[in-house]
Amino acid sequence: MDEPESLGLGLDLPEVPKTAPGSPYRVLARKYRPQNFSELIGQDAMVQTLANAIERGRIAHAFLLTGVRGVGKTSTARLVAKALNCVGTDGLGGPTINPCGVCEQCKAIAEGRHIDVIEMDAASHTGVDDVREIIDAVRYASVNARYKIYIIDEVHMLSKNAFNALLKTLEEPPEHVKFLFATTEVDKVPLTVLSRTQRFDLRRIPAEKLAAHFAEVSKAEGVTVEDDALRMIARAAEGSARDGLSILDQAIAHGGGTVTAEQVRDMLGLADRGRIRRLLEHVLTGDAGATLADLDEAHDLGIDPASLVRGLMEELHLATRTKAGASPEALPAEQREAAERLANQLGWAQIHRVWQMLLKGLADVQVAPDPREAAMMALLRLIHAADLPDPASVLSRLSGEAAGSPVIPTSQAKPSGITAQVPSDLPGLVALLEARGKHQLAVQLHDQVGLVRFAPPELVLKPMRPLGTDWPRDLAAALKEATGKAWQVSLSDEAGEPSLHDREKMAEERVRSEVLADPAVRAAFEAFPDATLESFTTTKGA
């Protein structure tokens, strides 16, 4: 049976005696295994659901616990077994979300010696014969417990035949039997099994909660651990209490009674935040020499290249959250100031571009034969990209119609007698109708007609699609209401200009072609063959 997983304890740790000299040492993940649901951390939703089910007597016959390694699936299964079989201090209690921990049922389950709580590791018992033993045994009543409980760890490892053999029993088990399945790969569990279980997804434990929990464990162990060291361990645990406690165990052994951030950083091969921020600054300013020097120094210190790139991504992500107004509150002042400075320095387009390139760089580092070389190439690509202008900068260098708003032909001279409030061109009429709330007419005038003649108050248009016989009259009435002048609007089959919509599309395509033809943009596409021009912004200027 694999080492049971631990969720860790809450902040009120029970008194745990220190290991006596000469006695076997118990690793922290086992020593501080939760003994009741109040000691679980990060799984409040699951505990509440179980509490409601037990209180109302709606206890499922099979539970499926999923989650990443070390998040506490097997420990939770044992707690459920306790909750269902606890008889209280007086021996008369029923199922409860708060097992007493002192009755014989609770103690036997906690010590792994209860005859009616059977644990099986599916990774080493994958065959149909192993499942048949369970099927044969469920027919018999429990020896001295309320329920006979089967805990099957890594259930996804069972063979197809084993799953099929279990289905009938799983669907209609005897009243005295409960199944508790645990798995890290729920997608490998057949749907026929999933549909017969009540599923609980155990979440990754937030780093803040892990750090607080590790602080309490350190205090109980009589060890001084710096706050920054606890945060590093919590981040390295990636939501797993068991992994974090294992790292803390190693750090305590490494530190000999006092654990510093520098010791944990050396032990884990991490780069400190100041080094990361300095490297990111060099990359964003395009300083290739300083960037390579930083990489060489990190290599000499034994810092993992993948950890370095992940650190850059973390700093960029923090700056992004800060820019969006959602910066985490529990941040050191120095880190918060650095994030605000970076957020003010970078635009959204640059943030997204840098993030995508770092993400690609991390993938390269993880698969490259030499991670150090891959990290160097990834950062040099970033520096090269930082020198390239974005589409808006390119457009600002383009002159004439391509760099500004589409130029739409207008009449050369405004007919006499027309008041100043009469627009001088067709786009002006569209804008006037929009301003007066005539949105449908404005859209039709913009998208569905071509201009034949514009001579206010006369307007001759060629329809691109049927508009109805009353449309010219409706448009004339709207224009009269807007300008105070009587308009003559007519539809004609004469050759006209393209619609305003079509002209704008043609102008956009022309600008797009000129952007793509620009040497700087061509260089960008040569550097990144898989890139596409998703959008661009036109700016006025010569």
138-157 per-position pLDDT tens digit: 888 888 889 999 999 989 99
What rounded mean pLDDT belongs to the chain?
A: 81
Q: Give the pLDDT confidence score for residue 409 in this predicted structure.
A: 39
Cβ-in-10-Å burial (0-12, 13-18, 19+) of 424 comes to middle
Give me the CATH topology for the region 43-201. Rossmann fold (3.40.50)
Whole-Å CA distances, 447 to 22, 43, 437, 473, 504:
88, 56, 17, 18, 10
- Give the relative orientation of helices 241-255 and 227-237 as an angle to the nearest 10 degrees: 140
Whole-Å CA distances, 196 to 63, 154, 292, 471, 494:
9, 17, 57, 64, 72
Closest alpha carbon to 360 in 385, 326, 335: 385
> Residue 135: how many CB atoms within 10 A of its CB?
15
- Cβ neighbours of residue 471 under 8 Å, at least 6 residues apart? 444, 491
Tens of pLDDT, residues 366-411: 999 999 999 999 999 888 875 555 554 444 454 444 444 443 333 3
**Domain 207-268 identical in fold to domain 390-406+421-542:** no
Q: Give the pLDDT confidence score for residue 214 in this predicted structure.
A: 92
Contact 278, 342 (CB under 8 A): no
Q: Give the pLDDT confidence score for residue 334 in this predicted structure.
A: 67
- State the residue for tokens 């891959």: 374
Report the top-level CATH class of 207-268: mainly alpha
Q: Does domain 390-406+421-542 have CATH number 3.30.300?
A: yes
Instruction: Please report, for the chain, the start and end positions of each structural domain, with discontinuous segments joined by +.
Output: 43-201, 207-268, 273-387, 390-406+421-542
Contact 353, 361 (CB under 8 A): no
Which residues of the chain fall below pLDDT 70? 1-24, 269-272, 328-334, 386-420, 530, 534-542
User: pTM above 0.75?
Assistant: no
Q: Does domain 273-387 have CATH number 1.20.272.10?
A: yes
Q: Give the pLDDT confidence score for residue 535 in this predicted structure.
A: 62
Backbone φ/ψ region at 27: left (φ over 0), alpha (ψ -120 to 50), beta = beta
Parallel, antiparallel, or unpaired: how do β-strands 177-183 and 258-259 relate? unpaired
**Residues linked to residue 64 through DSSP beta bridges, in sequence order:** 181, 199
